[in-house]
Amino acid sequence: MDAVFDFLAPVGLNETNFQFMLIAAILGCSIYVTLYGGMFSLANAGFMAIGTYVSVVLTQRYDWPFVPAIIAGMVAGGLIAIIVGLPVLRLSDIYLAIATIGFGEVVVVLIRNFDRIYEEIFDKKIEITGGGKGIKNIPVTTDTLHLIIFLLIVVYFLYRMQHSRFGRALAAIRQDETVAANLGINVVYYKNVAFIIGAMIAAGAGGLSGHLNRVIEPDDYDFDRAVDILTYAVLGGTTFFIGPVVGGMVLRYLPELLRRLKVLSFVGSIVGRDLTNEQAAVDGIINGIVLILFIVYLPGGLADPQLWKSLYRRLRPNNTQKGAP
């Protein structure tokens, strides 16, 4: 493993970066499940926060072992998805997006004020979520292998889902909810199950990232994060299971590559300002541009099989003679 990363170091790919790319890939998968069923949900940053905080609180404050804590975080995400999904999934399109953005904000606010609320109600001082400062000095327990295994399980799930009765029902709902219902598909049930699965994947990614970061803060899971997750899936494609993995990895790697290529200091030297400390803002700009370009020019995403097939056909030599029947 180390040899691989030594080799890749000149292009900005070290093990830490790779780990965050894997997290991004898992997050992309989490929103892929709901998008596959035609649900435009931005709740996954909220579920990620729930997974992170539940598992980190369990390992740090209650001395739970690592794996059970991650699973507990996923279960917590799933349970909250049941409660949130039933009312929220009656909405569709932009209304669902707005409601789920609201959910994410509520989660962040609740986490930030959890200790205070507890104190108000039970009249007893505690330190669970640590308020706005978050939880510090978390030992790094997640390693690359954990992430790879989790991602492989998720990808295998998505691959099987596509060719299952469950996945076909979701595809039908995405295409035309009314017709799906008239063909005997219980639309409410399938939407909720997809929502819960997406929430559990996001919560799992959260738990794993929480034990990778040393510090977690509520602000890590706000609206920006929700949009990042959406961008991963849109960039990679939302109808083919490899899409969100490719999208998450590419988009998480792009800023590192730009940093390595010293693009920022180059642009800074042109405009005559030092931009090297503006990395976060630049990441946002890149995400925005990528989102717009892909929605306009490549709506199928990077991993769209149709795109590669047509590209292959165009690049293959003598295609006109051989291809014609």
Partner 1 sequence: MLELQGVSRLFGGLAALNTVNMTVNAGKVVGLIGPNGAGKTTLINCVSGLDHPTSGVIHFDGVEIQNKAPHQITALGLGRTYQNIRLFGDLTVLENVIIAQHQHGKANLLDSLFQSPRHRREFKQQVERAFELLKRFHLDSFSDSRAGGLPYGDQRRLEMARAVATAPRLILLDEPTAGMNPVETHEFGEQILKLRDDGLTLLVIEHDMALISQVCDEVYVLNFGEMIANGTVDAIKQNQDVIEAYLGRED
CB of 185 to partner 1, least distance (A): 5
Candidate segments 180-188, 206-214, 244-252, 286-294, binder of partner 1 by CB under 8 A: 180-188
Question: By C-beta, is 152 or 281 nearer to partner 1?
Answer: 152
The radius of gyration computed from the CA coordinates of the chain, to the nearest angstrom, equals 21
DSSP 245-301: HHHHHHHHHHHHHHHHTTHHHHHHHHHTS--TT-HHHHHHHHHHHHHHHHHHH-TT-
CB of 302 to partner 1, least distance (A): 19
Binding to partner 1 in span 127-166, by CB under 8 A:
156-157, 160-161, 163-166
Q: Verify binding: residue 183, partner 1, rule CB under 8 A.
A: yes
Contact 88, 103 (CB under 8 A): yes
Query: Which residue carries 């780990």 as its tokens?
Result: 19
Single out the residue of 187, 227, 198 nearest to residue 80, CA to CA: 198
Candidate segments 23-31, 49-57, 120-128, 183-191, binder of partner 1 by CB under 8 A: 183-191
Contact 236, 247 (CB under 8 A): yes
CB of 309 to partner 1, least distance (A): 14
Q: Verify binding: residue 5, partner 1, rule CB under 8 A.
A: no
∠ CA 127-131-133 to the nearest 5 degrees? 110
Neighbours of 261 (CB within 10 A): 12
Q: Verify binding: residue 181, partner 1, rule CB under 8 A.
A: yes
Instruction: Among 178, 277, 318, 320, indicate the residue that binds partner 1 (CB under 8 A).
Output: 178
Instruction: Write the CB contacts of 120 (distance below 8 Å, at least 6 apart in sequence).
Output: none
- CA-to-CA distance for 41 and 71, rounded, in angstroms? 23
CB of 190 to partner 1, least distance (A): 10
Binding to partner 1 in span 221-250, by CB under 8 A:
239
Question: By C-beta, is 6 or 176 nearer to partner 1?
Answer: 176
- CA-to-CA distance for 84 and 96, rounded, in angstroms? 12
Q: Verify binding: residue 22, partner 1, rule CB under 8 A.
A: no
Question: By C-beta, is 182 or 277 nearer to partner 1?
Answer: 182
Question: By C-beta, is 109 or 183 nearer to partner 1?
Answer: 183
- CA-to-CA distance for 221 and 199, rounded, in angstroms? 14
- CA-to-CA distance for 49 and 92, rounded, in angstroms? 24
Question: By C-beta, is 178 or 320 nearer to partner 1?
Answer: 178
Q: Verify binding: residue 257, partner 1, rule CB under 8 A.
A: no
Three-state SS for 262? coil
Residues binding partner 1 (CB under 8 A): 156-157, 160-161, 163-169, 171-172, 175-176, 178-187, 193, 239
